[in-house]
């Protein structure tokens, strides 16, 4: 895969503003994920806003439970 995260900003509406290293941009809603047990810790706004960006995945590890989202999961849905 030659697509990597450059930067990702979590928005108040549970969307992600994503810029990829290749220059592409994407607005990606996470709202539909919040009902899943895996992503439910992100309902806490403080945890949601504390996002760490890595080239191939995103991590929210400041809340009660760590949540990880791989770039492949986003790319498959666009």
Residue-level pLDDT at 73 = 93
The residue among 21, 18, 38, 39 whose CA lies nearest residue 30 is 39
Mean pLDDT for 5-25 is 96
**pLDDT exceeds cutoff 90 at 76:** no
pTM above 0.85, yes or no: yes
pLDDT tens-digit series, residues 27-53: 999 999 999 999 999 999 999 999 999
Q: Go through the domains of the chain in sequence order and give each one's CATH number.
A: 5-77 (3.30.2020.10)
Handedness of CA 35, 38, 42, 43 (dihedral sign): positive
Mean pLDDT for 51-59 is 97
**pLDDT exceeds cutoff 70 at 72:** yes
């Amino acid at each position: 895969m030659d697509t990597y995260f450059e930067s990702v900003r979590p928005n108040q509406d549970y969307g992600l503003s994503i810029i990829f290293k290749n220059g592409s941009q994407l607005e990606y809603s996470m709202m539909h994920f919040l009902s899943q047990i895996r992503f439910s810790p992100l309902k806490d706004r403080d945890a949601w806003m504390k996002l760490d960006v890595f080239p191939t995945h995103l991590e929210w590890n400041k809340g009660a439970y760590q949540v990880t989202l791989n770039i492949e999961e986003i790319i498959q849905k666009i």
